[in-house]
Amino acid sequence: GVQAVQTFQHYFKQINLSMASAAVENFLKEDEEVKGFSFENCRRNAFLAKQGAEMPKARKTGTTICGVIFNEGVVLGADTRATGGSIVCDLNCEKIHYIADNVYCCGAGTAADTEFTTKMISSKMELLKLRTGREGRVISALRMLKQYLFRYQGHISAALVLGGVDVNGPALYTVYPHGSTDKLPYVTMGSGSLAAMSVFEDGFKLGMNEEEAKNLVFHAIRAGIVNDLGSGSNVDITVIRKGNVEVFRPYQVVCKKSERAGDYTFPVGTTVVTSSTEMVPFSALTVTDEEVMEIS
């Protein structure tokens, strides 16, 4: 009887130990599941792609815009290249928009969105000035912009740099397409913003004078133009001071068009015509595929 009891106790201990180890293993497994990266969405996306589903693509914008505060005001800068995909649509696009006499705004994103958004806010600022009888404040334009963009949840592709001088002194903000904002002494936006920011972080200092600020903004935009294919052409600069604004368009031409190195005219008969067909009238053609281009 004693031996049977000892045997039973031995097995009971083994069962308890196995149950405890199983519990520890389950706990560790559960703990492991919450740690690290989850690749479930990658597997899901791969499965959907195999089924023929088209994955959404990131929207690419080609622009470098920036701004910096100096001791008497704000300097805004932008490049002038407008692109539609890989095609340069405009060499001299104006990206620094008028909001009020003391407030200007740089726009990156879809050209139509940035232009019409800033025009609408400019109209609202003028109405506010007429109603109150006072000069509009930069924070008023910021509030209008962020509330308008947040309402559309990022579907209006407008990434903005807002700057101006009012009764509170110089102010500089960034406004993202979803409506979030930042207030900083120097800011950059657009696809060339990383190159521009590297110049700012290297050269910015508090209490800069106007010439130092203009030179810093020029080199920041130039860095974006040189390092980003979506940015190019000229550097535009707008200087906002208390009581007056000075626009430099262009401040400097960075991408100068080179002259053709050779003669590209070929005599008739250079290309051999192997066969000829009748001319088909345009009215007889049928559109089989169509693509809408975005200018950004």
Kindly list the distances between the CA atom of residue 131 and the CA atoms of 123, 128, 134, 139, 168, in Å, as whole numbers in the listed order: 12, 5, 8, 17, 20
- CA dihedral for 50, 51, 52, 55, sign (positive or negative): negative
Q: How far apart are CA 296 and CA 293, in angstroms?
A: 10
Q: For residue 145, give the nearest of 165, 188, 116 by alpha carbon.
A: 116
Check if the beta carbon of residue 123 is closer than 8 Å to that of residue 77.
Answer: no
Of 7, 61, 63, 271, the active-site residue reads 63
Q: How far apart are CA 236 and CA 256, in angstroms?
A: 15
H or E element at residue 76: strand 73-79
Amino acid at 188: T
Q: What angle do CA 74, 78, 81 make, to 5 degrees?
A: 170
* 63 is known as an active-site residue: yes
Which residues are tagged catalytic?
63
